[in-house]
Chain A
Amino acid sequence: MSTPFYVSPQQAMADRAEYARKGIARGRSLVVLQFADGIVFVGENPSRALHKFSEIYDRIGFAAAGKYNEYENLRIGGVRYADLRGYTYDRDDVTARGLANVYAQTLGTIFSSAAEKPYEVELVVAEVGETPEGDQIYRLPHDGSIVDEHGSVAVGGNAEQISSYLDQRHREGMTLAEALKLAVQALSRDTNGSEREIPAERLEVAVLDRTRPQKRKFKRISGRQLSRLLGAGAAGGDEEEASEDAE
């Protein structure tokens, strides 16, 4: 009779983590950063229809890197969670912290269950507050850990390098155009340090804008508005342009 191979728990977890990390690294990185009026999501995405960023609830946005079908599944789960919670209690009772906890539990359970393959995803859940101090950004790696982030965060294969680039340059109270420009600069740096051009039509950009009059603060930015913002950012961040976009 054959005995099954013994694999130490450490080794098993390390293997699973490596598997997940490799999967995530195949996709492109994305960044989420705070600016004066809210939180901006920027990523390279050649598809117009398959989004990396989306609205979960009034003030809560979602960003994901990794395997599309897996994060799409988590996204819809999150929308259902938020809508059901808001319907059962009140819209104010839906929070990014609550959602991030549920995602962390879900990812954590999947990661440590031997019956399932680990999810190859890394998520960001962000909530825009009434003031910049009220903004919340949570990063959720594949293993179900949860990191409370401030200022800027990058997820995906090249995340570490982009993060350190952003940490050095991101500051509080940037205009949307400045933050966007910084995000694009960070994303266009390759691992070997060389820069490449990311055309505006390959960028997916969305914001949670606290100045929006509607209760739903999530908004996609594309087309003319996007090129105008990118142009303004290049000119050293034009206050007027940014405020014009906030409408």
Chain B
Amino acid sequence: MAEQNAAPTNSTARITVRKTYKLYIGGAFPRSESGRSYAVTAADGSFLANAALASRKDARDAVVAARGAFAKWAGATAYNRGQVLYRVAEVLEGRRAQFVDEVGAAEGLDARAAGLVVDAAIDRWVWYAGWSDKIAQVLGGTNPVAGPYFDFSLPEPCGVVAVVAPQQSSLLGLVSVVAPAVVGGCTVVVLASEERPLPAVTLSEVLATSDVPGGVVNVLTGRTAEVAPWLAAHMDVNGLDLAGAAPADVQGLEVAAADNLKRVRRPDPREDWAAEPGLDRLRAFLETKTVWHPVGI
């Protein structure tokens, strides 16, 4: 990023092509319909880029896109979902250098530290990708009911999940909240870290080029306090991960989410994004379906 913003030092120096950061909705990269953008600065306060400032309409469009993608994504075979998600990790790895720059600038890390964060994010994505065809075996099962019935339970995605991404951890935190939702078959509208949104936009470029169907992950950038309430109150959103919500806003968002009894995952202030995540986040947006059938001849 530093290079992109460096001023030309002499008349023969090349003028850098500055990147325009946009939203990612339904597999396309629109600007905010509101036409608004906001300045994103590095950890040291220097200007990095302008990012789109998502509006209520953008949030609603993203939910429509996520809903539209849900049936196909949830209905894909687990093997297929795992392949698609692993492909994301491959493309992430290929763009490693860019992420190291962006994460370093956003989080104020030197190249080595940023590299470790990016590696962890890629590994996290791989870890979750591998869960796609194992979740049902670990979280499902047959139930030994007292009667002549075959009865089994299996996990199913709850639908569209709105995610307020972690504010500090711009890539590892983001991956840690998006991957567990999509690997289970949910589709996602994620609101990127407000101050550190650029790695999220770059991640959406990765998603767009890695076989993930449009609409499965939708990325909004903008003001968390402005957009999160629209997502929390949206009646076609089924789950809400409040990982990056400000403590003062959590209660209001949970109250809004109660209108259609969204599955809410509350933020954990002690969350350590570098730690092994366990199954909690995977389980948070899965329903359990139990099917009964008589046994006899």
Do chains A and B stick together as partners?
no
| Residues of chain A whose beta carbon lies under 8 Å from any beta carbon of chain B | none
Measuring CB to CB, which residues of chain B are less than 8 angstroms from any residue of chain A? none
